[in-house]
C-alpha cells in the first residue's frame, strides 16, 4: 500500500473522475494529497467519506509522496513532473508533454503492460482518441499484424475540458434562438455543427491531434511500420469519442475471427447486431470504462481489411480510468505477493 499519493488537477473534469475511480476501485493508499494552482488552493473536495483541502502545486509539495497522478496542461506538467521525480515520486501523467519522450513509457495496460517496467520516474498516458483505437486494434495486431489504419474520429466537446461543454451548451442555445454564439474554445460555432480540425496544423496538412494518433499508435504497439491516416473531427456531443476504423492486416481475418478477437480482448465490449439496430453510441457509453466495438464488417476495397465502429468515454478510458489503471499496474508489478491487488 502507498503511504501517500497526490493528484494534480483534481478540480478539472478528468481529475474529478480520477478521484471517483480511486474510491470505486479501492486503490491502495493511506493518504491523498490534492495539488493545484493558486486559483484553486483552499477549495474543499469530497473524496469518498473524507473532505480534502487543495494545496499549492510547488516544488516542496512532493516531499514524502510515493505516487502522483496528474491531469494538467502540457506546460504545467513540463514544470512540475521533474520536481516530483526529484523528490522520489513516480508520476503518471495525462498531458501530452512526455508521451513521445524516448525515456518515458507510453502505457495502455491492456496493450503494453510490460513497458511500465522501463520507467525512470515518469509514465505517460496516451491521447484519448489514440487510447480507444489501440485497445481495439491490439487483438487484431497480435493475431494478424496491423499494416495500415484509416481512422475518422468524431470527438466530444469534453475533450477540450469543461470549457468545451460549456461552449457547446451556449452555442446550441444561441442557434435555437436564431443567433450565433461567438466561439472561444473552438474555431467555429459547435452547436449543430461539425469542425474538421482539432489542434493546429502539424505536418503536411495533418493537425496536431491527428499526428498524435500516428506517433502514439506506433510507440504503444512497438511497431514503427504501422501506417496511420487519421482525420479528427469535433462534434456536438458532450461525452464519448466515436471512431470509424478501417484496418488492413498482413494476414487475412474473417469477420467472425475479428469478432471473436474483440470478444476475447480485455477492456473491449462488442455491441454488433445491425438487424436489431445494436451498435455503440456515445449516449450508451457515457460513464463506462470499456471500449465498445460494433459494425464489424469486411472492407470491400481491400482483401485483408476489416472495418468497424468504436466508441469510448473519452474522460474515462480515454483519460482518468487509463491513468488509474496504470497506477494499479505499477503497484501490482512492484508490490510483494501479499500486497497485490
> Which residues participate in catalysis according to the annotation?
128, 241
Single out the residue of 163, 134, 139 nearest to residue 151, CA to CA: 134
Sheet holding 55-56, edge to edge: 55-56, 29-36, 2-8, 67-70, 90-93, 122-124
d(CA 297, CA 128) in angstroms, rounded, equals 24
Nearest to 21 by CA among 119, 41, 29: 29
> Grid coordinates standing for 313?
468515454
Q: Which of 295, 287, 245, 307 is nearest to 270 (CA)?
A: 295
Q: Which three cell numbers stand for residue 139?
A: 487483438
C-alpha cell at 93: 501523467
CA 98 to CA 64: how far, in whole Å?
A: 23
Radius of gyration of the chain (CA): 20
Cell numbers for 82, please give them. 521533474
Helices (H), the chain: 13-24, 74-86, 128-144, 162-176, 208-221, 255-264, 282-285, 321-334
DSSP conformational letter for 66: -
Amino acid at each position: 500500500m502507498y503511504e501517500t499519493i497526490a493528484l494534480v488537477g483534481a478540480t478539472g473534469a478528468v481529475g474529478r473522475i480520477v478521484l471517483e475511480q480511486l474510491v470505486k476501485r479501492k486503490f491502495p493508499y493511506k493518504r491523498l494529497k490534492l495539488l493545484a494552482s493558486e486559483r484553486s488552493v483552499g477549495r474543499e473536495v469530497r473524496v469518498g467519506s473524507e473532505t480534502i483541502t487543495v494545496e499549492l502545486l510547488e516544488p516542496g509539495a512532493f516531499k514524502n509522496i510515493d505516487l502522483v497522478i496528474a491531469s494538467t496542461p502540457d506546460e504545467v506538467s513540463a514544470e512540475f513532473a521533474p520536481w516530483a521525480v526529484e523528490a522520489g515520486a513516480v508520476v503518471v501523467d495525462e498531458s501530452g508533454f512526455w508521451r513521445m519522450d524516448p525515456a518515458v513509457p507510453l502505457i495502455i495496460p491492456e496493450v503494453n503492460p510490460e513497458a511500465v517496467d522501463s520507467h525512470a520516474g515518469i509514465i505517460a498516458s496516451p491521447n484519448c482518441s489514440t487510447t480507444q483505437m489501440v485497445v481495439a486494434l491490439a487483438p487484431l495486431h497480435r493475431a494478424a499484424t496491423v499494416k495500415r489504419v484509416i481512422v475518422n474520429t468524431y470527438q466530444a466537446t469534453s475533450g477540450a475540458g469543461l470549457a468545451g461543454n460549456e461552449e457547446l451548451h451556449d452555442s446550441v442555445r444561441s442557434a435555437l434562438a436564431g443567433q450565433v454564439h461567438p466561439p472561444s474554445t473552438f474555431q467555429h460555432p459547435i452547436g449543430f455543427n461539425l469542425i474538421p480540425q482539432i489542434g493546429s496544423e502539424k505536418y503536411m496538412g495533418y493537425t496536431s491531434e491527428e499526428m498524435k494518433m500516428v506517433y502514439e499508435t506506433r510507440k504503444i504497439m512497438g511497431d514503427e511500420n504501422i501506417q496511420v491516416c487519421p482525420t479528427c473531427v469535433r462534434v456536438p456531443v458532450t461525452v464519448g469519442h466515436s471512431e470509424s476504423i478501417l484496418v488492413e492486416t498482413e494476414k487475412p481475418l474473417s469477420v467472425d475471427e475479428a469478432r471473436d478477437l474483440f470478444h476475447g480482448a480485455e477492456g473491449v465490449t462488442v455491441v454488433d447486431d445491425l438487424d436489431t439496430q445494436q451498435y455503440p453510441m456515445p449516449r450508451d457509453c457515457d460513464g463506462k470504462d470499456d471500449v465498445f466495438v460494433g459494425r464489424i464488417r469486411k472492407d470491400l476495397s481491400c482483401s485483408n481489411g476489416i472495418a468497424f465502429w468504436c466508441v469510448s468515454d473519452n474522460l474515462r478510458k480515454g483519460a482518468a480510468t487509463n491513468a488509474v489503471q496504470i497506477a494499479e499496474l505499477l503497484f501490482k508489478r512492484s508490490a510483494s505477493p501479499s500486497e497485490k491487488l
